[in-house]
Structure 1
Amino acid sequence: MEVQLKADGFGCKIGEVPFVYLGILVGANMNRENNWEAVVNVFRSRLTKWKANCISIGGRVTLIKSVLESLPTYYFSLYKASVCVIKKLELLIKKFLWGGGDDVKKVHWMGWDTVTCSKRKGGLGLTKLEWSNKALLLKWLWRYRNEVDSLWRRTIDAIHGSKGRGIWDSVAMSWNWSSYPSSAQEVAELIQCQWMVNLTQLNDRRDYWKWTSGSDEVFSVAIVKKWLIDETVNGDIDYFKWCTWLPKKCNIFMLRALADRIPTKTALKRRNIDVGNLICTLCGDHEESLNRKFSGCGYSMGVWQGIAKWCGIPPVYLFGIKDEVELHKYFKREKTKKQVMQGIAILTCWRIWKARNEMVFSNKKRNVVEIVADIKTLGFLWFRSRRNTILIDWYMCCNFDFM
């Protein structure tokens, strides 16, 4: 009755906890997995509108970065997600990345730890949702330390005190010693701490917190994410420098090829997938393995000789996929031509693989001359559109004049 009288006095209705305010669930125990169903459902509803098998892997990576990783930002900026919730959301992202779904299972060719490494360290530059959650919550710690006189900080201190509860346990932290030093190492650390304090010179200026990872000394969630990604070391894949004038799908294909993470017949057999005959589809002379497909196959050797003639270099003899990526390093050329040769090598491998897939799935065989012509055409179109600082026409491209 008293609550009803108060509500009538303020001209509002009596509500119940939990309730939704500005799209966020308030008053619920966010440690429970079922309270995150709203976020999970948003993921699923967005994915049902996208057809993963109609989008290249480069397009899927772009959608994940620009859309999926941003969907839980509102919740992540206020609540700490449990491990189960993170795994459920990341599972949806993994399935979409590799072209699968709830009813379609696909092979995940690269581990999640590898995928979430930076491009400089052999990954795709995706962000773990756990990192996004931590980076967003760390902003509260930064604001708590800097906005000393703000009303929200005084409210937190009044409700939770210096000890804090829940997420505020890590924000409203205080220097409360739980025990005295009990080992030689702890004593040494205490002495070092006291020595550093004694060296500190005090003045009349008020203390403040300084963000040292950025140029403007202001906290940035993006910088925290970048720092967390760069801390991850990927030792599984050889260093690969992305070609700036090629689409993402070509760079990602080359990244996977260097790690032997493309579905050749021998790779599928290693994963206990029955592929029947292991003979190479293009030449029919040997088993379809990674290095033989792109360098030892008679079909691919013919393509490489055509590319060498176009680029004006001696006939090349390659012994593996890594030799093809580093082909541009073995010739003394101008910087621009070396960048072009790097992209042409990646594009050639990608086009050979596409010709293989056209033969397997569509029974459509292309001869060597057609493949070389396609490489020239795609190279011309992509270089001209993505490197607009250099003017080039088709005649210059045919003569490999990219200066």
Structure 2
Amino acid sequence: MSFGGRLTLLKSVLSSLRLYYFSLYSVPPSVLKLLESVRRIFFWGGDLSGTKISWVKWENILLPYESGGLNVGSLKNKNLALLGKWWWRFKTDTTSLWTKLIRSIYGIDSGLRSVDGLAHLPILGTWKDIWCDTSSFKDLFPRLFRLDRNIEVLGNSIVLPKKTLHNNLIPKKVEILVWKTRKKRLRVELDKRGVDLYSTRCPVCDEDLESVEHLFVSCKFSKDVWSRIFKWWNFNLPQNLVFSDLFLGKSTSTMSTLGTKIWQSVEWICAYYIWKNRNMMVFQNKGWIPPVVISEIQVKSFEWVSNRIKDKTIDWHVWLTNPSLICT
């Protein structure tokens, strides 16, 4: 099963099996630790009898997309949120039968005096509503407000919105590969973890030590693939490809928002097929043929992107001859 399949099962099944118990009981830390361990082992492809390398800290995987994670969510936070839901209903829904029963047994506050009165306060937004004096935090602290809204601030001006590694036009397996690549957590980094390898040279070109930067940017075969991709889109290939900017979907001024997302999808799919063909050379002893790789990228990118766009129809002939026209 691919990482994308395991991530889907992780979110839809393993994170939902215990919702009933999580909404009724405060889960002990030892149980939470065990449950998170089961989820972590499953995600990395292991089982209870043996584990595999955890390439990224589990705490980072739990984070939302905007913070560099995979939006899995913490079981502890879910438990607290579900228990908080009952507290909120207890404080606001005073006419329900279960609220009357609890209050008749444990008293009118039922041990919640420390938070008594909060239910009668209006629901305030952290930044835009007025908490004190006559000004909101947004007006009092504009720089912090922009930072909280995931905007990069330089001096007194807003420069550029932060890029998030999430794109719903491609399969999860491609998205996770790019996420691991950006974090430099692929098998090509095994020697840095103390794993004894037969060779650390690039298996594709055999001209340099294998690394994430070399495989996806510097290797002559990868450069050939990127050159053909940029030519296909009628873009000028940068003289010096920069690894850190490779998957950000940088677009031209004529591209629409959707067009930028489509171009980013093609970049990510290109990286996926570079990695896939590298593994085919290593494990199946198959050769690397750039025209075949490009053909696979064109077909799969059209299939994945066109099936995920709801309000736009993509013509195959235009996609094959000049896809940048679709993105204007």
When normalised by structure 1's length, the TM-score is 0.66
Is contact 2:250-2:264 (8 Å) kept? Answer: yes
Count how many residue pairs are aligned between Structure 1 and Structure 2: 288
Structure 1 pair 327–85 and aligned structure 2 pair: CA distance change class (3 A)? closer
The answer to whether 1:269 aligns with 2:208 is no
Once residues 249 and 83 of structure 2 are traced to their aligned partners in structure 1, the CA distance between those partners, rounded to angstroms, is 46
Runs of 4+ that moved beyond 6 A: none
Whether 1:324 and 2:270 are equivalent positions in the alignment is: no
TM-aligned CA distance change 1:61 to 1:318, over 3 Å: farther
Q: Which of 246, 249, 260 is residue 173 of structure 2 equivalent to?
A: 249
Distance in 2, matches of 1:152 and 1:242, equals: 42
SS at match of 2:276: helix
Choose the corresponding residue for 1:94, options 25, 34, 40. Answer: 40
Contact kept, 8 Å, 1:278 with 1:287, in 2: the verdict is: yes
Could you tell me which residue of structure 1 aligns to residue 255 of structure 2?
Answer: 334
Q: Which residue of 2 aligns with 1:282?
A: 204
Question: What's the % identity of the aligned pairs?
Answer: 30
Instruction: Report the Cα distance in structure 1 between the residues aligned to 2:302 and 2:114, rounded to whole angstroms.
Output: 64
Higher relative contact order (CA 8 A, sep 6+): 2
* CA deviation profile, 1:78-123 (whole Å, cap 9, x unmatched): 1110000001111110011111112232111111221111112211
In structure 2, C-alpha distance between the alignment counterparts of 1:377 and 1:317, rounded to whole Å: 27
* Unpaired runs of at least 5, structure 1: 1-54, 165-171, 177-196, 198-206, 214-230
Distance in 2 of aligned mates of 1:397 and 1:324:
21
Map of 1:351 onto structure 2: 273
CA deviation digits over 1:217-264, x for unaligned, max 9?
xxxxxxxxxxxxxx9x9xxxx843422311121112111111111221
For residues 300 and 92 of structure 1, do their structure 2 counterparts lie closer, same or farther at Cα, with a shift above 3 Å needed? same
- Residue by residue over 1:325-355, the C-alpha shift from the partner in whole angstroms, topping out at 9 and shown as x without a partner, is 23533x3332144322211111111110111
Amino acid at match of 1:346: W
Corresponding residue of 2:184: 260
Name the CA distance, whole Å, in 1 between partners of 2:298 and 2:100: 66
- Which sits farther off after the overlay, 86-95 or 318-327? 318-327
| Structure 2: tracts of 5 or more residues without a match | 126-147, 151-161
Of 95, 113, 116, the match for 1:174:
113
Please point out which of 58, 65, 70 is paired with 1:124: 70
Provide the C-alpha distance between the structure 2 equivalents of 1:292 and 1:100, rounded to a whole number of angstroms: 29
- What secondary structure is seen at the aligned counterpart in 2 of 1:325? coil
Tell me which amino acid in the other structure corresponds to 1:254.
Answer: V
* Larger-Rg structure: 1
- What residue is the counterpart of 1:68 in the other structure? 14
Counterpart contact for 1:280–1:287, Cα < 8 Å? yes
Cα offset, 1:316, TM superposition: 3.2
Q: Which residue, 349, 361, 373 being the options, matches 2:295?
A: 373
Distance 1:138 1:315 in 2: 53
Looking at structure 2, the residues matched to 327 and 69 of structure 1 have their Cα atoms a distance apart, in angstroms, of 32
Give CA deviations for 1:131-152 in whole Å, capped at 9, x if unaligned. 1111111111112112324443
Alpha-carbon distance in structure 1 between the residues aligned to 2:225 and 2:211:
18
Alignment of 1:3-402 (within 5 A): 55-161=1-107, 172-174=111-113, 208=120, 210-212=122-124, 239-264=163-188, 267-326=189-248, 328-329=250-251, 331-335=252-256, 336-401=258-323, 402=325
Alpha carbons 2:170, 2:304 under 8 Å: kept: yes
Query: For the Cα contact (< 8 Å) 1:162–1:173, is it kept in 2?
Result: no
1:312 CA drift (Å): 0.8
Contact 1:308 1:316 in 2 (8 A): no
